Amino acid sequence: CCYKNLEDLGLELSFPETNSSLILVRKVPMCFMEREANELRRKRQPITRSIVEEFIQEQIELVQTTGGRAQGTLPLTFLKVLASQACHGAIKFNEHLTLEETCRLIEALSSCKLPFQCAHGRPSMLPLADIDHLQQEKQPKPNLTRLRKMVRAWQLFGK
C-alpha cells in the first residue's frame, strides 16, 4: 500500500513470487549511498542494508498504526541519515577559517532556526564574551557570577 510513497523517496523494491517473505531492493536513496561511502572511507562496516531494513520496518509500522494514511513527512530514517551527514561534513573545533569563510558561516548560521546546535542537538558554538557594552561611555563591571553560571551551564550541556 505504500510502494508509491517508497518509490517517491528513492527506494525501489520488488517482491518475487517464489518467496513471500523476500524483498529485493533495486534502488536506494542517494543519501543512503553517500552515508555508506562515508562509512567505507572511514574503514567501517557497510551500513546500507541496516539502514534500508530500518527504513522498511519504519514504513511497515507506520502502515500498521495509521492504516497507510500518514504520509507527507520525511521518515525518521532519512532524518537520522541526513543529520549524520551534516555533522560529518561540518567544520570542526580548531579548524582554521579565513575571514571570508567565517563571515559566510556566520551569515549562514543567522538564517538557521537553531544555530547553536548541530542536527543531533550538540552545541555548535559557544559565546565567549558579551562585548556590546564596550561602545558605551560608562562601562559596567562584568557580572562574574552570571558568567560562571553560563560557563557551568555550557559544561553541563556539553556532557
Tens digit of pLDDT for each residue in 32-60?
888 888 888 888 898 889 988 888 888 87
Please state the φ and ψ torsions of residue 89, each to the nearest 5 degrees: -90, 5
Q: Please give the model's pTM, rounded to 2 decimal places.
A: 0.54
Domain assignments of the chain as residue spans, ordered by start: 1-73
Comparing CA positions, the residue from 114, 5, 95, 17 lying closest to residue 55 is: 5
- Lowest mean pLDDT segment, chosen from 4-13, 49-58, 76-85, 129-138: 129-138
Residue 75: how many CB atoms within 10 A of its CB?
19
Residue 62: how many CB atoms within 10 A of its CB?
19
pLDDT in the model for residue 72: 60
Position 1 pLDDT exceeds 70: no
Position 77 pLDDT exceeds 80: yes
SS3 26: strand
Q: Please state, in angstroms and rounded to a whole number, the distance separating the CA atoms of residues 5 and 3.
A: 5
Please tell me which of 28-37, 64-73, 107-116 the model is most confident about, judged by mean pLDDT: 28-37
Q: For residue 51, what are the contacts with CB-CB under 8 A and spacing of at least 6?
A: 32, 35, 77, 81
Distance of alpha carbon 101 from the chain centroid: 22
Which helix (H) or strand (E) covers residue 50, if one does? Answer: helix 48-66
pLDDT in the model for residue 15: 83
pLDDT in the model for residue 70: 65
Q: Please state, in angstroms and rounded to a whole number, the distance separating the CA atoms of residues 63 and 72.
A: 13
